[in-house]
Structure 1
């Protein structure tokens, strides 16, 4: 009998072990890493370059790449180490994994740091087992679009999909656009228990008509996952599936329409099958409709979401009754896109008791033109209900694949797809499906609003300001500018300093109605056109694209005008004027005939710059930055110093440009400015990135990278090169320390430079790239050394070309004395320059 018991026990243990072995575990991939096991957020991730990985990667056109800066901070900090590396694809490549049949969450992690590997934005497609997940995807554009919806500082995008696999194989293909590249920082393949997490779905518009939903023919993408009434729920708080739940406060139409209730005691799942569908913390808080103080009836509480048109959407609502202990005490209606999804909805009755958590799924067939999805809860008007307030604990919105596609059919760059998305939310749309009682409330609110507007108009008339519709008024400072009814500027500035306010008709005439053949540049803000004014003057016209009218684009437009209205210097691109009518944001600059410095270094067929020209250009840019750092009381930090923001006029005079993300320097009693990290990958100061503390030395670091770019004439990041040469700064400094400087110099210089000058140049570049800002020189010191390098070079040229010179050969010390004379001469003319609002070049002949 005892032996039979032991045998039975062994059999039970064996079956349990077999069952555990059959249950698939998650596959967590640290892309670009060779680590065999890295613990991040308590889970073990394996590098895709590790020999112990249990998947294969097709390697044509791929490279593992590590970031020079640390990982991300903020809400994604636990995942920071994952964002230090990436797998970069120059051609179509795939990850091939073995998976058991079933449903899985597939998550793709992207960091914006790696989106700036080159001057051009990476655009690429992603597919899983033939199902297109992303089409012409732009990480920067996705982040801009997200930030226009919520106030987010994270520079990371995590795309999540729920897929069903029957073949036992998963192939994830990355396909870059022609001439572009693709990348990914990390991937998760997390099994979901059960054959499907959608067993029964209510058809919106026909409540009571339920039907099964299957992932067999496609998949779904998680668009939104919200905790209603509570703060964000981190991934580690949702063990098993590791989902992130955001707060609903950015999506609720009116915060006053609902209030929060809480109850953290004795919450349990109504069904054991629900235990993996949401963490219990989600159900400890809820929002219920607020009783109006104006009318006795309650009004709808609404949430609004931007969606991709042309797809069906699954809406999962999470409920848990936290107040009432009987049925019939709370009944309400559910509307999705102004269609009735449920009537007389009783949370207590459906859950089978108080503090019982459950969910309900609804399927809405979206219109091809619909780009907004509304979820609303309204009062139940049926008699006998003791309470008619609605309740909601959580919400998830999923996009359903259609014909093998989950990707939006148009490219999403700059934040909004195809120009069809309009994040602006209109109360009129809410009114369409509102209950009759809501009309009374809106009428009262409208009356109050009209009174408010009348009072505001009176105040506006008293201040003699006027804000026309269209582009938002730019409130740069307090006092009004009489030239422009839409722009305000500092009281210390005259209106003339803002330049001319152009009409849109003048701009269209100057650009031949924005003729594409006149485009001379494209940036994050928009396109730059070459234009001709009525006087025949050539100008550069920067036109913000449609998406720039939201969020960051408006800020950059305001900052650019504010900065350039305060600054005047020969080595800063002058602002001629602007246009801000008819939803346009346009800046007009002096035309720089020779374009960007980068275009003269590589990537074009322009003649190579001589060493003398390169030195003079670097000196000009340094003078512009030195003026920025010292010309005003607090100084200005450019924050985006790079060769594409150094422009050259017809005489190759360098001028700093693009002040859209510039910042005022620290106050006298501060050492830095605390701010979110912005800039361009490869030029970004690692200390600023690590501490989020901005100082003028951050510009110095970026300028040091520019100096190396001028010296070597190659991109700052080139993923096609061997690993030790990908990052220009690391490679050049390593060569400098090994006395191999001459091996990395631009071969087009063909030896036409002075070695002493080159050494002085490279040494100051090395000092600029010191790890800690306190060890870097100021821009004044950088300028001094560059002028020394120029004098050394010109002195040797004079010695070589004129053998009858009677004076001794110029030495480094002589050059330093000459530079000192130049600096003294420049200082002596500063007052005159400031008075005349222009700068005169000071030239001293070399003896």
Structure 2
């Protein structure tokens, strides 16, 4: 009897203190299917079978596809996506749950069921008082994600973390007027209480942000440096981890590392945060043979503007077994999140897995989130690069809302497919009417132009319907009453001979005749557009360079038009002149003046090496000429032009070794007077790229100054900017030369072929200019005008040295001018 009473007492305590049966229950619901199904190695209940733990307010319309479905996004869900439940009125799933935190996933897959096409659906989804999505359209969402992630997207899975109160959980679907809602599957999983901390470090400050009582949506979850991890590898929440390749700004900026040794969590409480597989792979910046270590490795993500974000970084040191071996900085949205970051120190050892959370706010109109990791250039440890194992980005609710309407105008400008029929008919009628009116206006205008001037009409007829060389537009503007862009352009277009030369249109047969039908023997170089040929025109009396666009190369129509536009507006002794163009049969060809002595790089360390080595004076004169060309670009118009690809292959030399800047395909207008920079994607060449521009995507004229500083050291040392064959500390020219220059020992690494050919004072001034150009902070670099002035002074110092040297050798008297120190050394040697 006592045993029975004790058993009853224990059972009573169990009923009181142990949570109800629904606590921790996993709802896996297959919507629209009439029986239990299996997918993703789990059992899914049908929403057609009565269940005590959830109810459906409206049966809607069950839809089932008898054919198999292949889902390339989440392998294992194909069978689940064969069914769906449709609602043409408001309806809700009501789940009985104990209070707590839950992970909720909504699965959507496009389908066709009778008259219902999921691409035509548009609806809102909310849970309790929280709006999840609004005007959701599956085709728009898939197209947007495919475009932004550069990947094959076939389904959409929305993942949320929600706190549920005593009322349980209601998931409500509200179709837009004349449309319908649908859902393929629903997951509800208990979320570990330690999954999210209440307080998170704010990016750019030492403060903390509180996220208590805020719902969370998962935007991205990446296994950095490793393959995609299926949900079955996650025993807690069945989370998928995508590969990070499609999100890297430059995949060559980092390399993968792997370690399958015994990895453990810093604390066992972290075991539910991420699987250990995430920490077995990483990306590091140790591959300095690819990119100089002062550059950051970057990931770019498209997110919803005007929301707060939680950025979770997963770390595990896989290589170093002591501190101060890998120290780096963390940047989020161009703001410093952490400095002097040492994973080994933070974790307390090697192979210790942990995570860091950061909070940041994205303002209105900002839909891009950047994560960048970079080494601390002031440190010199053997592993002063960066490391990252995993990444998660979460959007935080704002005033009870997580919904964001996609900006569909950026995707082909299509009308929303879910507009009601009356509105669509009205729009179509308006469009047809406007098209007819526009056609009538075009016909009338064309007739008037034909009557008023046959010559202009003929020029318009000669222009092909596809790519239109901008030189034609500029030539036409110069003959009109329109005010030119600036006085330089005005003077340029007022010269008839130059105007005709710039506007010369070659036939394809002329180009083929000039290049011997593009014979390989006439190729003189290759670039981002394609091959460059040596050609003879006008019966062989003029030699030209012919640049022919190759559709397989990285640059194309936009860059060609940019180059024509730039060279049509600008004219300078130190800019390569554009003679004309050819556009026939799909060809895009530009014709330039021929530069007899080729590229500057070829004269520094070309293969085969040039017959005559450039003297120190010639090198300084070339740099002065290139600086004049860049200075003109920066100041020759109202806003200036930024070259954006300054390097020795884009500095050409004519028969008298006069330097001219070339290749303006990446150039763009500079900032206006009230701006300091232009925000744009990073383009250029490794080794020459301004690290500030690379990190912040903020282009300015000082970006050209940095690249020119690299050119100066390249000219001085006579070696490539990136040379993987050299010892590790010499691979990157800019870093190597700066170290010697800061020790004031630059003469140690000067091109040995220049021995005894330069003034020490001139060399010192030349190196000082290069050093200033390579300042980390752009605002501390000189302008191109200042660089030009200093180079001219260095040239004057060298000329004075030469004069005094000759005087010393003829008279034996030591002068007291600028070259005295160098001449003293000469006398000591003699």
What is the TM-score when the length of structure 1 is the normalising length?
0.48
